[in-house]
Amino acid sequence: MIIFEHVSKTYNNGVRALNDVSLKINQGEFVAIIGLSGAGKSTLIKLVNKMIELTEGTLIVNDKKVKDLKGKTLRNFRREIGMVFQSFNLINRTSVINNVLSARAADMGFFRTLLGLYSKEDKLKALESLHKVGILEKAFIRADQLSGGQQQRVALARTLSQNPSIILADEPVASLDPITANQIMKDFQKINSDENITILVNMHHVDLALKYAHRVIGINNGVIIYDGPSNKISEDLLKKIYGRELTDEDIMFKDN
Amino acid sequence: MKTLPQNLILDVYQSRPKTTLRNIFIVTTIIILILWSLSVINYPGITESSIQISRNILKAFVNPSWDLIFSLEVDSIPFLMFETLGIAFLGTLLGSILSLPFAFLSSKNIVGKFAYLGTIVITIIRSFPFFLLALMFVRVSGPGPLTGVLTIGVLSIGMISKMYVEVIEDIDPGILQALDASGASLFQKIRFGIIPQLTANFISVMIYRFEINVKNATVLGIVGAGGIGFTLLTAMSAFRWQDAAAALWGIVVVVIFVEFFSTKIRKKLITGE
Amino acid sequence: MKILCSKIINIINTLKTKSIQNRTLVLSDGTLVTKPKSYTLLYTLILLFIFLYFWNLIVSAFFQRFGFQFFISRIPNFFTILNLMVSDINFSYFERVIDPLIITIQISLLGTFIGTLLALPIAFLASQNLIKNSKIPIVIKFILSIIRTFPTLVYALIFSFIFGFGTFIGLLATIIFTFGIITKMMYEVIETVDLGPFVAIESTGANKFTSFRTSIIPQVSGRFYSIILYNFEINLRASAILGFVGAGGIGLILNDQMSLKEYGNVSMIVLSLLLVVIIVENISRYVRGKLT
């Protein structure tokens, strides 16, 4: 469960990215955050696993006050939250399975990490995660030899092997072509329904967000404009969120 | 059908590339080599005199011969450092000029297969122990800075040619094609297509080598080829630690200066002018 | 006083505008284009000046003392020695060369190994993209540049007075030299690495060491091995000099035979060293090829 209570974030350069944001996300929800670039979507997501720190308000995730977490408690907390990035952030020169295994390294002791000794259990779990996203056969291939969509799947598998309760995705499909983007969103959907993992995605393609997420949060200038089911959103509301008419850049499939 | 994926996964697991054996082999070889090498080291232990001497040396560092540092006489530190800089400067220049033919004759895109011969010659020159070279030149120009210039000149051929070859082989043929398409003559192609690409990088190589040669020039003095190395050697042999420390300070200051400017200029060459 | 200052300011301004005028071109449609100031001529003049100064200091001084003719007459000496080395080459001397040669290899191996081990953690601490918001990297880099100013021979010389002659000081000098160079090359590689994966692994709850080990090491290991092998080659060549200060290896017998004018033996030593270097270079090139 994620609870934002009057959360604000002002960056060091004075930019007020989030302004008095309050919301509650239950376990197992699939939520998409939409809005213009710089509206505060990325900030909101990064606050959840404390990649950045809030300046005002209270943030409670999985019954823990995020503000109080640091050092070991922060690291333990992050074990339960997976993160997927726009640029995949894979370790390019190693194999796919090593990439997935790297998520389990946080639990290993000093020497095992130093020597890179993952247990058989770890390796099986990694293969299982790869199988869940459908690229088991690529397990031993070097990560940079895969296509964009496949790489993002590896990133997904990496988060899955953490056994997370929440997965955060920061523009996960922005670098992908429309067909692959759809596939990845379907993967998110499957993970959400099969494993009851909370999915919190931010994206700038409105049609994809509305298609796959149950709930949509629209942000403009750090303020929540809309927070509700994806099928109840109207053209007017979209205009309010984006502050203008939607352009081609905000839509993934042009012929809708 | 939950068991099917499990079997599939186990199969993939069994078929994983097993590099453990190879890794163990490599690690064992390295360990054996290291242990074998250890056998040749005889540790003399820390004696009374070694502690005493270390203490003296450290004391000298904090209190070097200030008079040598601040005078401008012929045997003063500033003069010697200038001399050393001069040796490095002229030597690098000489080496750069001498390297040009070697480099061009060893580049695959200029002479094709014969480049291999050139590379062998360059390797031979590079492996020639440089203080041997110095001793040979001493028979020509005596123990003095000119010997240093000649030694560094010939010595640098090895490294500079190698780097020149890399630059030459890196030439973008696209520019030549473009010039060809606009009807340029061979001379024009060289003048406008090749030379601009080369000059900035060649100069960068020269500056890099100059930096290294300043350090080499200090060492040459120890072998008798002028510069501050000689002072260092004589001072230490006579246990005049403070003079030696002065020399060392001189080296530190000059080398750091040179390194600083060299990095700045080279960065500017690559990104700016 | 004030009048003088304003006069000087006026002159500077006029010079500036004149300089801009000289550099400005007028296009056919009236647009003005000002070329940026070019300092090439200035730099070339400075270099020329430096060159002439040093030439005068070293070369002319020499010719003044000894005469140009003298110099010319002595040049053949160099080639005579070279000639003798080639013609009198003494292959049977090889059996005397083998032992010192192996010692040279051993010192280089050990020195490179230990130097590298010490370099790794320090390179990590010196990388500004890993240790953020801290002065530590800057301080470490500065200390390293001081360590790097002295070539191996100088360290060996100093140590010879503390510990006496022997292979130990050769080893120490090699370790320090290797440490200095490898740390620098390593932090240069680390600072250009992609930090995305590092952030990703940190987000899974790993500490800095684990994130570094899993995300950065695989990116740089290929280049690291390359650097280490390259350094080993340098150490092999440098160790020849160490013998000059009695630090073991072939440098010692090289110096002896040279003073005895036994050029045939000298060339045998050089040839043996050359052989080892070529073998190591080829192994190194093979391994480096396999790493990429």
- HEC letters along A63-123: CEEHHHCCHHHHHHHHHCEEEECCCCCCCCCCEHHHHHHHHHHHHCCHHHHHHCCCCHHHH
Is C233 in a helix, a strand, or coil? Answer: helix
Q: Please tell me which chains touch B, using 3 or more CB pairs under 8 Å as the contact test.
A: A, C
CA terminus-to-terminus distance, chain C: 69
| Domain count of the fold of chain C | 2
C-alpha span between B189 and B180 (Å, rounded):
8
- Which amino acid is present at A253? F
Average pLDDT, chain B: 81
A103, C194: Cβ pair inside 8 Å? no
C-alpha span between B162 and C96 (Å, rounded):
32
**Chain B contact for A119, CB < 8 A?**
no
Please list the residues that pair with A83 across neighbouring strands: A168
Mean pLDDT, range A111-132, rounded to an integer: 87
B236, C161: Cβ pair inside 8 Å? yes
Taking the CA atoms of chain A, what radius of gyration do you get in angstroms? Answer: 18
Instruction: Report if residue A170 sits inside a domain.
Output: yes
**For chain C, which residues score pLDDT lower than 70?**
246-248, 291-292
A136, B12: Cβ pair inside 8 Å? yes
Q: Which option is the CATH number for B67-271: 3.90.1300.10, 1.10.3720.10, 1.10.357.10, 3.20.20.370?
A: 1.10.3720.10
The ipTM estimated for the assembled molecules is: 0.86
Is the domain of A25 the same as that of A55?
A: yes
Is the domain of A171 the same as that of A195?
A: yes
C-alpha span between B206 and B197 (Å, rounded):
15
Q: Measure in Å the smallest separation between the Cα of C189 and chain A Cα atoms.
A: 15
Comparing C-alpha atoms, which of A29, A77, A22 is closest to residue A199? A29
The residue of chain C nearest to residue A110, with distances taken between CA atoms, is C210
Mean pLDDT, range A18-44, rounded to an integer: 88
**CATH for A10:** 3.40.50.300
- Which amino acid is present at C4? L
pLDDT over 60 (residue B273): no
| Domain count of the fold of chain A | 2
C157, B33: Cβ pair inside 8 Å? no
Q: Which domain holds residue C51?
A: 38-87
pLDDT band at residue A119 under the 50/70/90 scheme: confident
Instruction: Report if residue C190 sits inside a domain.
Output: yes
Give percent of chain A above pLDDT 90. 32
C150, B259: Cβ pair inside 8 Å? no
pLDDT over 90 (residue A151): yes
Q: What size, in residues, is chain A? A: 256
A114, C201: Cβ pair inside 8 Å? no
| Predicted pLDDT of residue A221 | 86
Is C237 in a helix, a strand, or coil? Answer: helix
Is the domain of C231 the same as that of C140?
A: yes
**CATH for C201:** 1.10.3720.10
Q: Please tell me which chains touch C, using 3 or more CB pairs under 8 Å as the contact test.
A: A, B
Comparing C-alpha atoms, which of C161, C160, C158 is closest to residue C147? C158
Instruction: Report if residue C183 sits inside a domain.
Output: yes
Comparing C-alpha atoms, which of B153, B174, B160, B168 is closest to residue B115? B168
Q: Measure in Å the smallest separation between the Cα of B264 and chain C Cα atoms.
A: 15
Q: Measure in Å the smallest separation between the Cα of A90 and chain C Cα atoms.
A: 6
| Predicted pLDDT of residue C256 | 81
Is the domain of A158 the same as that of A169?
A: no
Which segment, A129-133, A154-158, B20-24, C67-71, is predicted with the most confidence on average? Answer: A154-158
Is the domain of C99 the same as that of C200?
A: yes
pLDDT over 60 (residue B207): yes
Q: Measure in Å the smallest separation between the Cα of B4 and chain A Cα atoms.
A: 12
| Predicted pLDDT of residue C291 | 65
Is the domain of C175 the same as that of C59?
A: no
**Chain B contact for C40, CB < 8 A?**
yes
- Cα A79 to chain centroid, rounded: 14
pLDDT over 90 (residue A83): yes
Instruction: Report if residue C1 sits inside a domain.
Output: no
Is the domain of C144 the same as that of C69?
A: no
Of C71, C87, C103, the one marking the end of a domain is: C87
Alpha-carbon torsion (C59, C62, C66, C72), positive or negative: negative
Is the domain of C123 the same as that of C258?
A: yes
pTM for this one? 0.76
pLDDT over 50 (residue A123): yes
B12, A123: Cβ pair inside 8 Å? no
pLDDT over 70 (residue B3): no
C-alpha span between A76 and B170 (Å, rounded):
50
| Predicted pLDDT of residue A196 | 92
Is the domain of C103 the same as that of C156?
A: yes
C-alpha distances (whole Å) from A154 to each of A117, A161, B89, C204 are 20, 11, 55, 15
Of A132, A147, A163, the one marking the end of a domain is: A163
Other residues' Cβ atoms within 10 Å of the Cβ of residue B87: 34
Is the domain of A175 the same as that of A57?
A: yes
Instruction: Report if residue C157 sits inside a domain.
Output: yes
Q: Nearest by CB to C203, which of A51, A105, A110?
A: A51
Tokens 């004018």 found at:
C261
> Angle at the Cα of C41 (from C36 to C47), degrees rounded to 5?
135
**Chain C contact for B146, CB < 8 A?**
yes
C-alpha distances (whole Å) from B39 to each of B43, C115, C169, C173, C209 are 10, 18, 15, 18, 35
Of A133, A163, A193, the one marking the end of a domain is: A163
**Would you state the structure tokens that stand for residue C237, as one six-digit string?**
């060549």
C-alpha span between C218 and B82 (Å, rounded):
45
Of C48, C69, C87, the one marking the end of a domain is: C87
Instruction: Report if residue A85 sits inside a domain.
Output: no
Comparing C-alpha atoms, which of B127, B136, B94 is closest to residue B225? B136
C-alpha distances (whole Å) from C286 to each of B104, C283, C290 are 25, 5, 6
B10, A124: Cβ pair inside 8 Å? yes
pLDDT band at residue A256 under the 50/70/90 scheme: very low
H helix runs in chain B, sequence order? 3-14, 20-38, 48-62, 66-70, 77-105, 108-111, 115-127, 130-141, 145-169, 173-181, 186-188, 195-223, 228-237, 241-271
C-alpha distances (whole Å) from A219 to each of A12, A88, B234, C179 are 21, 24, 77, 53
**Chain B contact for C234, CB < 8 A?**
no
Is the domain of C265 the same as that of C134?
A: yes
Burial B121-135 (b: 16+ CB within 10 A, else e): ebbebbbbbbbbbbb
Is the domain of C97 the same as that of C82?
A: no
**Chain B contact for A131, CB < 8 A?**
yes
With 0-12 CB in 10 A as exposed, 13-18 as middle and 19+ as buried, what is C55?
middle
Of A163, A190, A217, the one marking the end of a domain is: A163
In chain B, where are the structural domains located? 9-38, 67-271
Q: Which domain holds residue A110?
A: 90-163
Is the domain of C149 the same as that of C103?
A: yes
Is the domain of A113 the same as that of A182?
A: no
C78, B41: Cβ pair inside 8 Å? no
C chain contacts of residue A75, beta-carbon cutoff 8 Å: 205-207
Is A218 in a helix, a strand, or coil? Answer: strand
DSSP state of A49: T
Q: Nearest by CB to A123, which of B5, B8, B13?
A: B13
B chain contacts of residue A127, beta-carbon cutoff 8 Å: 9, 12-13
Instruction: Report if residue C110 sits inside a domain.
Output: yes
| Predicted pLDDT of residue B1 | 44
pLDDT over 90 (residue A31): yes
**Chain B contact for C138, CB < 8 A?**
no
Is the domain of A120 the same as that of A137?
A: yes
B chain contacts of residue C105, beta-carbon cutoff 8 Å: 37
Which residues, at least 6 apart from A29, have a Cβ–Cβ distance to it below 8 Å? A198, A199, A214, A215
